[in-house]
Amino acid sequence: MARIRINPGEAGPIRTTRQVQDANGRWTTAPKGSKKAGRVLARARWRDRRGQTHEASAHASSDARARALCQAALDRALSVRKGNTLTSKSTVAEALELWRQDIDRPDYSAGRALSESTKKQYRDAARRHLQGSELAAMSLAEANNAGTLERFLRAVATDHGDGAMRLTRKVVNGLFQLALSDGAIERRASKDLAPIRGGKEHQTKLDYGRAYSKDEVDSLKAYCDASEFAARLDLADLVAFGIGTGARISEALRVRWDQVDLEAGVVLIDGTKSRAAKGVVPMGPSLTTRLKARAEARGRDGLIFPNVGRHPSSVIDKSKPRDRRNVTKHIRALLNDAGFEWARFHTSRHTAATSYLLAGGTPLEAQALLRHGDSRTLDRYVDSSQAVARIDRDKLL
């Protein structure tokens, strides 16, 4: 059947598919004639204001509910941005308000649709460093100057660190891209900026490309298991989970017990970085044994790594994920104490892939393990879901 032509700013028809879950927890199309269906998936294509095609989708237990949710998603995607069009006389503060609306759109002006965690980081950076600043009071014409922007961002880096500066720079790029789209400026001066650093040297330089060796993994796990600090903040199992699955810290903190099959040794991780980020990940024998002991001691309801109080037993809310920034600070302190000043939680992700490849796994299987969506050429020809099924659990840490 030929596809219906969709004009910019319009949507195509909503189509529904009945789905069932397979043994690995993946949702697949229900066989023809089957009366059983775990859910109904509704999908529809739509085109944004620049003519690019996107897909809105929603799922529910009934056809009518799935269609209604999908239609609501289409309405949000096609809604016209509130506020007046920006001009060269508009202030940066006014552009910032429109940018806050723009990042919620699937056709975000500065790039692809953003995950909720990324949006939160951008909003926090805008509120802390841009809102109420001298730059915010300037007009877009005045602020759209490489020297002005460099001085502003350098001050943020000096006062708050390079990480805060990088987030703020992305916000600045986004709001000036919005101004460019509205015709308020002819080009973005933010594109001309050289790399900026605040002049503060880290006491210990992080090694972003390094992975733990097998001996280092054993040493780190042993230290975490014996650490009173790690026990009080429930960090030992979290560190082991990251090493064993390659999960990002935000993903690990959101995994629920109902997403784990301890008998099969697999876990469903709801990633948000790309379409491939959500998938079933196998766990090695060591991690599976550790989680079985945790389940027996703490129960299997809610999140695996929920909020904790001053003691591991004082659970606050098993349905509410822990604050990622606080946990990152705690992991930083733990790694420093353990003698791994160069490492970070994301080092576990490098380790999961590196250890698997060194044990004889293929690059495609390692890509499936990490759930990377940007595989370039390989992704066009290979079914990575089959690579997940071929992963040898005994090769995982």
For residue range 24-56, list pLDDT tens digits in order: 777 888 888 776 668 899 999 888 766 778 888
- Listed in sequence order, the residues at least 6 apart from 276 whose beta carbon sits closer than 8 Å to its beta carbon are 371, 372, 373, 375, 379, 384
Residue 120 and residue 56 in one domain: no
β-bridge pairing 27-29 and 53-60: unpaired
Residue 231 and residue 359 in one domain: yes
Last residue of a domain, one of 78, 108, 125: 78
- Residue 102: CATH number of its domain: 1.10.150
**Cβ(163)–Cβ(118) below 8 Å:** no
For residue range 107-163, list pLDDT tens digits in order: 554 445 567 777 888 889 999 999 999 999 999 999 999 899 999 999 998 888 888
Last residue of a domain, one of 160, 192, 224: 192
Residue 281 and residue 178 in one domain: no
pTM (two decimals): 0.53
Outline where the chain has alpha helix (H).
63-78, 92-102, 116-125, 134-137, 140-143, 146-160, 162-181, 214-226, 228-232, 236-245, 249-252, 285-298, 324-337, 347-358, 363-370, 377-381, 384-390
Residue 188 and residue 264 in one domain: no
Q: Is position 197 within any domain?
A: no
Residue 158 and residue 247 in one domain: no
Residue 102 and residue 159 in one domain: yes
β-bridge pairing 278-282 and 39-47: unpaired
Q: Please name the amino acid found at residue 121.
A: Q
> In the chain, what percentage of residues exceed pLDDT 70?
78
**Cβ(96)–Cβ(131) below 8 Å:** yes
For residue range 64-118, list pLDDT tens digits in order: 999 999 988 888 777 655 445 788 888 999 889 888 887 776 555 444 556 777 7
Angle at 388 between CA 382 and CA 391, to 5 degrees: 120
Q: Is position 47 within any domain?
A: yes
Q: What integer best gives the mean pLDDT of the chain?
A: 80
- Strand (E) or helix (H) holding 279: strand 278-282
Angle at 80 between CA 75 and CA 84, to 5 degrees: 160
Q: Is position 60 within any domain?
A: yes
Q: Is position 117 within any domain?
A: yes
Whole-number pLDDT of residue 327 = 92
Residue 105 and residue 30 in one domain: no
Tell the residue number behind the tokens 């014409």, with chain if given. 141
Locate 210 and state its tokens: 């390094």
Q: Is position 28 within any domain?
A: yes
Cα–Cα distance between 160 and 158 in angstroms, integer?
A: 6
- Residue 302: CATH number of its domain: 1.10.443.10
**Cβ(83)–Cβ(184) below 8 Å:** no
Q: Is position 85 within any domain?
A: no
Last residue of a domain, one of 56, 78, 100: 78
Residue 241 and residue 111 in one domain: no
DSSP code for 130: I
Residue 332 and residue 307 in one domain: yes
Q: Identify which of 69-73, 114-118, 316-320, 384-388 has the greatest average pLDDT.
A: 69-73
Report the 10 Å Cβ neighbour count for 8. 12
Q: Is position 29 within any domain?
A: yes
Cross-strand bridge partners of residue 18:
40
Q: Is position 157 within any domain?
A: yes
Whole-number pLDDT of residue 241 = 92
Residue 223 and residue 129 in one domain: no
Domain interval for residue 280: 214-395
Residue 290 and residue 379 in one domain: yes
The number of folded domains in the chain is: 3
Residue 267 and residue 387 in one domain: yes
